[in-house]
Amino acid sequence: MTFETNLINIVLVDTIHPGNIGSVARAMKTMGLQRLSLVNPRVFPSGESTALAGNATDVLENANIFDSIKDAIKDSTFVYATSARDRSIQWPIMNAEQAANDICNVVNSKKEVSIVFGKEDRGLTNEELELANKLIEIPANPEYPVLNLAMSAQIICYEILKASSDDSKREWRDYPEVNSDQLQRLIDHFIETAVDIDVIDPDNPKKIISRIKRMFTRLQPDEMEASFMRGFLSGIKKKLK
């Protein structure tokens, strides 16, 4: 089986230093990846990016630029986000090796994956992290757990390269999973219906909305399941009229 690296979308969000974009491109190409998406880069294109990309300037030239993370990941079935942020609501977390095996399994099933990296000084916000199905944490010295953007990308891309030789896992589903855009519309529909039937107080939602988002991203429904759920929710709304 040929490993389709074009199904892996590396997403850099609000990157501050243009040189980091070039360094990530170099890290990607070294490990056999070529698809780069940039969300609101502070400076791009840039001579500094080109210089630090080395022989990976083709990755930069073919990079896609987006105004939002949602646009950058909308065609991906699975979204992974890198995080070192403490969260009040916990999310499924994997280390880099576990994530790489998971990603390779998805890619071997002909599904698109996005791996999202936040900006250098703050990473991703909690709201941005909630767009992901799973979070990736890279184990490091707890007394100094500091990796720059290119280091983080290099580690994850390396783990993907290492895991990609194992194609023994096979897909078990009979319908494809929904992509990120379809999943977000299902979540919005569910929350809207919950508000309509007074299960959620829109003026005081507390943490229930984050928990609902976590539930659906963790369950990873397929297209048939999502279609049934959307029909079920629409049926509830009809009964309310």
Q: φ, ψ for residue 163 (rounded to 5)?
A: -80, -20
pLDDT for res 206? 81
CA 163, CA 102: separation in Å to the nearest integer? Answer: 9
Q: Which fold has domain 180-240?
A: Helicase, Ruva Protein; domain 3 (1.10.8)
Q: Where in the chain is the domain with CATH 1.10.8.590?
A: 180-240
**Rg of the chain, C-alpha, whole Å:** 19
| Class of CATH domain 5-163 | alpha beta
Specify whether the CB–CB gap between 85 and 123 falls below 8 A.
Answer: yes
Q: How many CB atoms lie within 10 A of CB 38?
A: 22
What is the DSSP track for 174-230? Answer: SSPBP-HHHHHHHHHHHHHHHHHTTSS-TT--TTHHHHHHHHHHHH--BHHHHHHHH
Instruction: Report the predicted TM-score, pTM, of the whole model to 2 decimal places.
Output: 0.81
β-pairing verdict for 113-117 and 8-13? parallel
Number of C-alpha atoms within 13 angstroms, CB side, residue 133? 25
Ranges under pLDDT 50 in the chain? 1
pLDDT for res 174? 82
pLDDT for res 100? 96
pLDDT for res 87? 59
pLDDT for res 241? 76
Q: Where in the chain is the domain with CATH 3.40.1280.10?
A: 5-163
pLDDT for res 169? 57
Specify whether the CB–CB gap between 60 and 22 falls below 8 A.
Answer: yes
